[in-house]
Amino acid sequence: MSAEIRVRRRVAFSETDAAGIVHFSNYFRYFEDAEHALWRDAGLSIHPESAEIGWPRVSASCEFHRPLKFEQEFDVSVRIAELSTRTITYAGEIARDGEKIATGTWKIACVSKLRDGTMRSVEIPAAVAERLQPPS
């Protein structure tokens, strides 16, 4: 079981803007990739093939402290800050050589996918909650 993970990455050219600095939208991708790694580390998939539930984002924020540039290596850390009966709140940090680059928080909700294409909030399955439960 894992309630926290760290992933090492390198900035790809396609992730940068004309100034060679990572475009702000990519920070959310970095956090999401690490989030999915956390699920895999817990023996889960956030989107199994036959899933009857989904995990849409209901809020997200990111604070930028320093820029990242093409070819720089960095670490993305993600931890579960709160797990309620229907939502998971994450806290993430992107760092390079011990310097904080960006911090973020985001919340996902467990939803049931209805036949008409809409979603309805449901409780997180016990098997998922047990594997993602942060240490007390």
Residue 55, number of CB atoms within 10 A of its CB: 18
- Bridge partners, residue 117, by sequence: none
Q: d(Cα 98, Cα 82) in Å, to the nearest integer?
A: 25
Amino acid at 91: A
Distance (Å, whole) CA 97 – CA 101: 10
- Is 17 considered catalytic here? yes
The catalytic site residues sit at 17
